[in-house]
Amino acid sequence: MIVMKFGGTSVEDAPAIERVCEIVRSRAAEDPVVVVSAMARVTDQLLAAGQAAAAGDRDLALESARSLRQRHHRTASEMLSGNHLAQLRPLLDSNFNQLEELLGRIAGAQELSPRNSDHLLSFGELLSSEMVSAAIAARGLACEQVDARECLMTDGSHTRAVPLFDATKARLEARLRPLLARHAIAVMGGFIGATLDGTPTTIGRGGSDYSASIVGGALDAARIEIWTDVPGMLTTDPKLCPEAELIPEISFEEAAELASFGAKVLHPATLLPAIEKNIPVYVLNSRDAAGAGTCIRAHVERNGRPVRAIAAKRNTTIVNVAGERAWIPRGFLRDVLAVFDRHECQVDIVSSSQVSISLAVESGSATPELLADLQRFTQVICEPRQAIVGVVGENLRGRQGIAASVFGSVAAAGVNVRMISQGASEINIAFVIHDEDVPAAVRSLHKDLFSGAQADEDQSWMPSPGMSRAGMNCL
């Protein structure tokens, strides 16, 4: 079996869902399990409706629900007719009736609790899975909607619930194996699950990718396909550097490293179940099903180039912490890190000297409370509007001169480097620069590392000449 996951823009309207049906049909012989996101923007709209209800604007909340109801019905009638449409309509209505009732309860409570928020957001994927399942069935393929809340079991940490892998595997086996045995296609919503006692949960925004790989891992899929609206993973963000190219193959380690730099094409946890079971993950474009996409797998042939990709994590702040005296006392680093930990602030890069420590963190996570806490025992200076640039590639391992080329290239662009870290993983070099310098630094690096003298002799992985660059914003 294989898992095919379609993101929100891949199911955003009737033509998109029709493309999905064709793509699924082309893989039908491989026994696909289909995982879908909510239609594009629906999750945000549900959340906004919940917030309006909690703020006392019941009318606005119900108005949003009505417009969502219309959009789903309109899409249904654009792609289905006759019996198929007649069967789908009441399923949509029953979900929308429950949704409106829930919004009424949220308005009554004047509060959007995390538990209610999960319940609210679950409707997005419940609805889209009903729609896609009906559309596939209308093409004469055996198909069934599967309620993800019966299969994806999680703990009770609402809004970012943690999957319970053993329970999930058992439920998926019980629910999906019989379907697979008779070659029926299961369609389930990603992102949503439930606790063992049946309370709806969600596994974090963008979590449908993760759901897909949990299903793939649990059922030992031959591969996991993530269908999105970009051609695949790219060598860098094409908005920063128009020369960005498709990456045909990338290792799990490299892709995970890129995800940690904020590469948006995959939810960061997506690869974990795939890595554990060594299942290749493909990133593919539902608007160009014939495109090669990107294959993420355990081992990738070297292609002669020193790096696989360059990523930039914007929105970074450097927190400089100086010791009270001219040197930092024993245990100081530990104490400082403990403060960040207490405030659940993830530290992306640390560099420390005898007298001070610099930490690069996401700007929003350096909260006033955290800074106040730090100030209690030391002097703190924050530098906002920074960015982390990461250069990632298996070929960096033990390669001499690579740091010189990277920093030489950045210097040639006239960019000052504030902090440096050569990753413990040996496959990345990361450094912090002023955010406004990001385009110049990335363009210079891309030119020197991808199209300069060090580029490979092997041109076979270059993207095909006709490849569209429109909308490629995955890094």
Binding site for ligand ASP (CB under 6 A): 7-8, 37-38, 43, 124, 190-191, 205-208
Name the one range near Mg ion by CB under 5 A: 4-12, 274-282, 302-310, 335-343: 4-12
**Shortest distance, CB of residue 103 to Mg ion, whole angstroms?**
25
Report the chain's terminal Cα–Cα distance, integer Å.
29
Which residue's CB is nearer to ligand ASP, number 46 or number 388?
46
**Shortest distance, CB of residue 25 to ligand ASP, whole angstroms?**
23
**Shortest distance, CB of residue 155 to ligand ASP, whole angstroms?**
18
Q: Which of 206, 216, 231, 323 touches Mg ion by CB under 5 A? A: 206
Which residue's CB is nearer to ligand ASP, number 193 or number 323?
193
Name the one range near Mg ion by CB under 5 A: 6-14, 187-195, 275-283, 352-360: 6-14
CA 166 to chain centre: 23
Q: ∠301-307-308 over CA atoms, to 5°?
A: 65
Q: Which of 4, 5, 7, 16 touches Mg ion by CB under 5 A? A: 7
207 binding partner (options Mg ion, ligand ASP, none; Cβ < 5 to 8 Å by kind): ligand ASP
191 binding partner (options Mg ion, ligand ASP, none; Cβ < 5 to 8 Å by kind): ligand ASP
DSSP helix/strand/coil, 170? helix
Concatenate the DSSP letters of all residues of 62-125 into one string: HHHHHHHHHHHHHHHHHH--HHHHHHHHHHHHHHHHHHHHHHHHHHHHT---HHHHHHHHHHHH
DSSP helix/strand/coil, 354? coil
Which residue's CB is nearer to ligand ASP, number 228 or number 409?
228
Separation of alpha carbons 443 and 74, rounded Å: 44
Separation of alpha carbons 91 and 132, rounded Å: 12
Q: Using the 8-state DSSP alphabet, how is residue 246 labeled? A: B
Which residue's CB is nearer to ligand ASP, number 191 or number 332?
191
Which residue's CB is nearer to ligand ASP, number 96 or number 332?
96
Tokens 């530990």 map to which residue? 334
**Shortest distance, CB of residue 124 to ligand ASP, whole angstroms?**
5
Half-sphere exposure of 222 (CA within 13 A, CB side): 7
For residue 446, give the nearest of 387, 391, 386 by alpha carbon. Answer: 391
Separation of alpha carbons 439 and 312, rounded Å: 9
User: CB neighbours of 220 closer than 8 A, spacing ≥ 6?
Assistant: 1, 277, 279
The two three-digit tokens of residue 443, written as one number:
């363009």
Name the one range near Mg ion by CB under 5 A: 203-211, 219-227, 350-358, 387-395: 203-211
Separation of alpha carbons 119 and 127, rounded Å: 13
Which residue's CB is nearer to ligand ASP, number 191 or number 282?
191
The two three-digit tokens of residue 57, written as one number:
């604007």
Give the DSSP H/E element, type plus range, for residue 58.
Answer: helix 58-79
Which residue's CB is nearer to Mg ion, number 7 or number 268?
7
Which residue's CB is nearer to ligand ASP, number 175 or number 205?
205
Classify each residue of 369-380 as buried b or exposed e, where b means 16 or more C-beta atoms within 10 Å of its C-beta.
Answer: ebeebbeeebeb
Name the one range near Mg ion by CB under 5 A: 67-75, 78-86, 202-210, 406-414: 202-210
Which residue's CB is nearer to ligand ASP, number 216 or number 323?
216
Name the one range near Mg ion by CB under 5 A: 7-15, 22-30, 96-104, 393-401: 7-15
Which residue's CB is nearer to ligand ASP, number 207 or number 262?
207
Name the one range near Mg ion by CB under 5 A: 61-69, 138-146, 200-208, 406-414: 200-208
145 binding partner (options Mg ion, ligand ASP, none; Cβ < 5 to 8 Å by kind): none
**Shortest distance, CB of residue 11 to Mg ion, whole angstroms?**
12
- Residue 124 binds Mg ion (CB under 5 A): no
Q: ∠285-286-288 over CA atoms, to 5°?
A: 65
Given the rule CB under 5 A, which residues bind Mg ion?
Answer: 7, 206
